Chain A
Amino acid sequence: MQTDTVPRVVVVDDEEMVITSVKAYLQLETEYDVVGFSDPEEAVRFFPENAVDVVVSDYLMPKLNGLQVLMEAKRFQPEAARVLLTGHADKQSAIQAINDVGLFQYLEKPWDNPQLLLIINSAIERTNLLRTLRDKISQLDMAHSHLKEVQARLLRAFL
């Protein structure tokens, strides 16, 4: 998982210029690993094999739309936060996204850089918290199993 390394942000937009701009800004302001895809299908192929903390996706793209991309991200990286960055001023798609893919944030183009950074930082924090929570739950599960084992051994010893 991505917790021990630098956070990874995936930007998906069929417009190369958006990827270049967001990447340049995040590289200036942060140490995050920013991976850009202008082909949404390539992004979808990236998710199963690579840990991701935040996915920022455009909505209107050829082949796959932003919701389909975020749905795939949710499938393979359930803890990664999902952000829709769209120039398509369509509130319906935003509502659908929030309901269908558990959207973390919806941003409209032209976007505001400090706002985008704030969202990405909060998203990474949320992802880390979710991962910590998952680890704690798994530790609790292990402790519970251990206790049950001890209990079983005790019962065997005394009965």
Chain B
Amino acid sequence: MSGLASPDSTMTAEEQVAALREELETVRRKLAETYKMASVGKLLAGVVHEINTPIGSVRSNNEVLARSLEKIAGILECCPGAGEAALAKARSLLDSCRNLTSVDRIACDRISSVIRNLKTFARADRSELRKVRLAELIENALKLTQCEFRRRITVESDFGEMPEIECNPDSLSQVFLNLLINAGQAIEGEGKITIRTRVEDGEAVISISDTGSGIAPEHLPEIFRSGFTTKPAGVGTGLGLAITRQIVVEDHHGSIDVQSELGAGTTFHLRLPLRQPDEPR
């Protein structure tokens, strides 16, 4: 990286300071961007592994499906009399196709999820700041999790009085979705998720609690690190909380902390400023 340019000698002292400050800010932005890209690069090896496996499966299944369908067509053409044995074979092949289709669907969902997370992580989007109602973002995230939670998990919301807050609504929605999905996955069988929002010391405070299995104390310092997961293969990528932290702390100048008790549940506390500072950190 090149050093700062010498200020023009015809400028006043104030102008020189302002020019240097502006240049420093540009360098700081570049550094932040380089740091972000380096983090993304570190994630890539793991992400490629995550993507290649489901893609391999999808490709293989598609091939098997195509061949099976050909065979079904052949059997049906060769046996217009529909012999019982031929029909049984056709039914068995059709069952196989159905099973593989369902595996393909799961694999595709995972690819989309990894790509989506990576895109969010790499995005530099201060220009997308808007004033929104936090409750609305949380309610939208809840709608997306409804299918998974229905009949198993009850959700209790307590949205306190709060002005609209300045934020990037897309990335904050991702934060709430990540935390709600984690909460749902922590609950085995039936349980409850509680969401509370309030204003405290001029900041928006959001608490999301679950009655799930809790996080082991030795795992607590690790949970925001990218690549860390205790979920079985195929469920967790270890990116969710790393991205959540990035969005809350780095992009929104907020904070996130967690309280957890094994067997009792976990609460995430988020604090976000109501207005984003004019100068980025």
Contacts and interface: CB of A to CB of B under 8 A. Distances in A.
Chain A contact patch, size range: 20 to 34
A101 interface: no
A25 B60 contact: yes
Interface in B23-64: 45, 48-50, 52-57, 59-61, 63-64
A110 B233 contact: no
B68 interface: yes
Contacts of B53: 15, 17-18, 87, 109-110
A24 interface: yes
A6 B100 CA distance: 25
B99 interface: yes
Interface in B242-257: none
B52 A20 contact: no
Contacts of A20: 57, 61, 99-100, 103
B68 A110 contact: no
B64 A17 contact: no
Contacts of A15: 53, 57, 233-234
Nearest to A87: B52
A144 interface: no
Contacts of A33: none
A89 B48 CA distance: 8
B57 A21 contact: yes
Majority-rule SS of B interface residues: helix
Nearest to A19: B57
B103 A21 contact: yes
Chain B contact patch, size range: 20 to 34
Contacts, number: 73
Q: Which of B63, B64, B67 has the most CB of A within 10 A?
A: B64
A16 B63 contact: no
A30 interface: no
Contact of A110 (B45, B50, B52, B106): B52
B100 A24 contact: yes
Contact of B67 (A14, A28, A87, A110): A28
A87 B64 contact: no
A109 B56 contact: yes
Interface in B100-124: 100, 103, 106-107
A88 B49 CA distance: 5
B63 A113 contact: yes
Interface in A8-40: 14-18, 20-22, 24-25, 28
B57 A18 contact: yes
Contacts of B233: 14-15, 62
B230 to A, nearest CB: 11
Nearest to A13: B53
Contacts of A89: 45, 48-49, 52
Contacts of B48: 87, 89
Given A17-B106, A25-B60, A62-B233, A110 B100 contact: no
B259 interface: no
A87 B61 contact: no
A87 B50 CA distance: 8
A87 B234 contact: no
B145 interface: no
Given A17-B103, A21-B103, A28 B55 contact: no
Contact of B60 (A14, A22, A62): A22
B96 interface: yes
7 contacts: A17-B106, A18-B57, A21-B57, A25-B63, A28-B67, A110-B55, A113-B63
Interface of A: 14-18, 20-22, 24-25, 28, 60, 62, 87-89, 108-111, 113
Given A24-B96, A110-B53, 14 more contacts: A18-B56, A21-B60, A21-B61, A21-B100, A21-B103, A62-B233, A87-B49, A89-B48, A108-B52, A110-B57, A110-B59, A110-B60, A111-B60, A113-B63
* Nearest 10 pairs of A and B residues by beta carbon: A110-B56, A87-B52, A109-B56, A21-B60, A109-B52, A17-B57, A21-B57, A110-B55, A87-B49, A87-B53
